[in-house]
Amino acid sequence: DGGITQSPKYLFRKEGQNVTLSCEQNLNHDAMYWYRQDPGQGLRLIYYSQIVNDFQKGDIAEGYSVSREKKESFPLTVTSAQKNPTAFYLCASSPQGLNTGELFFGEGSRLTVL
């Protein structure tokens, strides 16, 4: 069953701790993205990667880090430097560049900082 899988679905973190969100896709898509969703603010781009071993900052990259060592995987680390990390995080992929097709989203990971 093809798709994009995020884990964990829910995550709780204490202040000062780093946490890594997993995103895996078996769609053979080149491009992958991380968005943050907050009520009333829509989807904001954190990082994106168009090819393995390459990624670019989005609009709100501060306090986050990513890696793209494999085509199928694009993990996101929320570091202690992120001042307001409680949010819903969505991973997405697309076959080529964004100008050529739709984004396929995962089901999301909800992070709560205690």
> Which 1-30 residues touch other proteins, going by CB under 8 A?
none
Interface with other proteins, residue 90, by CB under 8 A:
yes
> Which of residues 5, 13, 22, 44 is near other proteins by CB under 8 A?
44
> Which of residues 33, 34, 74, 89 is near other proteins by CB under 8 A?
33
Contact call for residues 17 and 81 (beta carbons, < 8 A): no
Round to whole Å and give the CA distance between 48 and 31. 7
Euclidean distance between the first and the last CA atom of the chain, given in angstroms as a whole number = 35
Closest CB to other proteins among 5 and 79? 5
- Binding flags for other proteins, 47-66, as an x/- string (CB under 8 A): -x-x-----x-xx-------
Round to whole Å and give the CA distance between 8 and 29. 22
Interface with other proteins, residue 42, by CB under 8 A:
yes
Q: What angle do CA 60, 35, 40 make, to 5 degrees?
A: 85
> Which of residues 8, 20, 26, 97 is near other proteins by CB under 8 A?
97
